[in-house]
Amino acid sequence: MADKSPSRPQPVEKPVPAREQGRRTAPPTPRRATPIAAGQQSVAAKSRDNADGGEEGEDEEAEHEGGNNFLLFNAVPSWVTSMIVHIIMLIILAFITLENPFKSALNELIIGEEDVTEEVEDFEEEDVPEIDVETPTTEVAVQDTSVVIPQEVTEISPANDLDAAPIAVELEDVGDRTAPKNDLLAAVGAYAGNGLSGRGASARAALVRKNGGTPGSENAVALALQWFANHQNPDGSWSFDHRVSPMCQGRCPDHGSITEARNGATAMALLPFLGAGQTHREGKYKQVVYRGLYYLIAKQRESTQGPGGLWEERGHMYSHGLCSIALCEAYGMTRDRELMQPAQLSLDFISSAQDPVGGGWRYQVKERGDTSVVGWQLMALKSGHMAYLNVNPNTIKAAYKYLDGVQADSGAAYGYTDPGNGQATSAIGLLSRMYLGWKKDHGPLQRGAERLSGIGPSDHNMYYNYYATQIMRHLGGDMWEKWNPEMRDYLVNSQNKAGHTKGSWNFQDPHGASGGRIYCTGLATMILEVYYRHMPIYQKAASEDDFEL
Ligand SMILES: [Zn+2]
């Protein structure tokens, strides 16, 4: 497990600088150039040593001898002269033997420098381009072969310190107080610090076992990520019409109809990677994630709806909410400064697009809200808060009012644009309430959750399943024990297992016609990531209630 990570990240992490550098410093030189240079160096050095050392030694000896004789010849007795001459000769000899190694070392250094320089220059021109091209290819090949993720994702996400943030899990009913921004948002769940901490490999493997995942569910996630990687477009995006991707070319049926909504499709594909701990800096899909994020950031710069917007035709605020979640999660997991501004701007756009009267969001900026679009914006604000970005507290308060306006049965059920009790809208409303501070034992929350538990997982409505699964997971207990195996095994069994569609899903989902296979696969994968995607909201707060998680 740990073997791969130290050796691989270097060429992958900064591919471009590495390549540029490669041309200059010629990484392959050690392979051929160094041995040759070393060989020449030592041979040359030796031959020059012999030649120089011999000549110089004799010359010096003669010179010194002559000098001594000339000075002392007539002044002292002959035995003294002889003795002095011998002593001087001994000293000179000593100097000669000391001098040679020094000189030869100098020679070697000089010779070495010349030879190495020549070799590097030669090498640059000949072989570097080939190596250069091969590095990324190897990376792609690796992606295609392996399937089991837990062994690949060895790096732990930066937010992996399980002890780092339990303090933040103070759940309070924020509707009752006008609190400073941070206190208010501390109630938006257990996000600060440990909300994303389950995504690192070691933490994740343990969480999968502990929280009801199986090797089968993890394998399904791995297959799904591979399917997504195979359906990425050359510009880094995904399309709900997945047929346009070069590797698919129509081999998967059930494409979605909202082809204009590339931002939304890209976010829907990126989120399962991020949920599994795969970022642009860690994991085997670094390049895939990097290109996807880059696509979103580039699109954000072209926004016509306001700074930071990823609003688009036919995807509307749905697209923006999904993209904002992806940017905030990627930033929160990597702390990459390049992502900080795009993520923050996407949150600011959510605030500016909120209906100033009702507090909700819908298709157009400032339009009267619907619960479905509201759900994605709140998830984005939550992700932003988890990443320590700024979330406007007034936005949260207004959203709270929106939920009040569409709730029924004191908040146990929620309607689409008015009070009601739709399955999916109730699930969205209840999860939003949990994020906004309702405690686990809050009556309407329990009542609503029990109702959903009675209905059970749907065999086609992944949108409902996505929200309801998270509610059950956060609440835990009997409802979760009942829900999880049914939901998990249904997804594992219904995934396409062979052929080109391997790893994907398609359901008769209410949004399936517009979102197609990308949409269904995105939601199904995220449901199977529930064991580690977000740490349970009530993990710490509920410890006094013998709440096991
Ligand atoms: Zn395909």
Taking the centre of ligand 1 as the mean of its atom positions, its distance from the CA of residue 223, in whole angstroms, is 13
**Tens-place pLDDT, residues 120-168:** 444 444 444 444 444 444 444 434 434 344 434 334 343 433 333 333 3
**Tens-place pLDDT, residues 272-291:** 999 999 999 999 999 999 99
Q: What is the mean pLDDT of residues 78-85?
A: 69
- In whole angstroms, give the CA distance from residue 466 to residue 424: 9
Residues 6+ apart with CB under 8 A from 325: 267, 271, 376, 379, 380, 383
Q: What is the mean pLDDT of residues 325-354?
A: 96
Q: What is the pLDDT of residue 536?
A: 62
Residue that the structure tokens 């989902």 belong to: 509
- In whole angstroms, give the CA distance from residue 418 to residue 412: 14
The band of 500, judged by pLDDT with boundaries at 50, 70 and 90, is: very high
Taking the centre of ligand 1 as the mean of its atom positions, its distance from the CA of residue 372, in whole angstroms, is 28
CATH number of the domain at 195-535, out of 2.30.30.30, 1.50.10.20, 3.30.365.10, 3.30.210.10?
Answer: 1.50.10.20
Is the pLDDT at 325 greater than 50? The verdict is yes
CA dihedral (413, 416, 420, 424) positive or negative: negative
Q: What is the mean pLDDT of residues 481-486?
A: 98
Taking the centre of ligand 1 as the mean of its atom positions, its distance from the CA of residue 86, in whole angstroms, is 94
The band of 504, judged by pLDDT with boundaries at 50, 70 and 90, is: very high
CB 289 within 8 A of CB 330: yes
Check residues 190 and 518 and name the one with the higher pLDDT. 518
Full DSSP string of 439-483: -TT-HHHHHHHHHHHHH---SS-HHHHHHHHHHHHHH-HHHHHHH
- In whole angstroms, give the CA distance from residue 413 to residue 444: 8
Q: What is the mean pLDDT of residues 310-317?
A: 92
Q: What is the pLDDT of residue 76?
A: 55
% of the chain surpassing 70 pLDDT: 62
Taking the centre of ligand 1 as the mean of its atom positions, its distance from the CA of residue 8, in whole angstroms, is 29
Taking the centre of ligand 1 as the mean of its atom positions, its distance from the CA of residue 227, in whole angstroms, is 8
Across 73-82, 220-229, 318-327, 356-365, least confident range: 73-82
Tell me the helix, strand and coil percentages in the chain, rounded to 5: 65, 0, 35
Residues β-bridged to residue 413: 408
Taking the centre of ligand 1 as the mean of its atom positions, its distance from the CA of residue 302, in whole angstroms, is 29
In this prediction the pTM is 0.66
**Tens-place pLDDT, residues 530-545:** 998 876 666 543 333 3
Mark residue 474 as left, alpha or beta (left: phi above 0; alpha: psi -120 to 50; beta: remaining). alpha
Taking the centre of ligand 1 as the mean of its atom positions, its distance from the CA of residue 163, in whole angstroms, is 42
Taking the centre of ligand 1 as the mean of its atom positions, its distance from the CA of residue 248, in whole angstroms, is 4
Q: What is the pLDDT of residue 306?
A: 87
Question: What are the start-end ranges of the H helices in 156-304?
Answer: 181-186, 201-211, 215-230, 262-275, 286-301
Q: What is the pLDDT of residue 482?
A: 97
- In whole angstroms, give the CA distance from residue 290 to residue 268: 15
CB 353 within 8 A of CB 307: no
Taking the centre of ligand 1 as the mean of its atom positions, its distance from the CA of residue 505, in whole angstroms, is 11
% of the chain surpassing 90 pLDDT: 55
Q: What is the pLDDT of residue 75?
A: 52
Q: What is the pLDDT of residue 429?
A: 98
Taking the centre of ligand 1 as the mean of its atom positions, its distance from the CA of residue 454, in whole angstroms, is 36
What spatial distance separates the first Cα and last Cα of the chain, rounded to whole Å?
Answer: 27
Is the pLDDT at 72 greater than 50? The verdict is no
- In whole angstroms, give the CA distance from residue 321 to residue 361: 10
Taking the centre of ligand 1 as the mean of its atom positions, its distance from the CA of residue 270, in whole angstroms, is 17
Average pLDDT value over all residues in the chain: 75
CA distances from 179 to 176, 396, 404, 450, 500 (A): 9, 12, 19, 31, 53
**Looking at this protein, which amino acid is placed at residue 171?**
L
Is the pLDDT at 549 greater than 60? The verdict is no
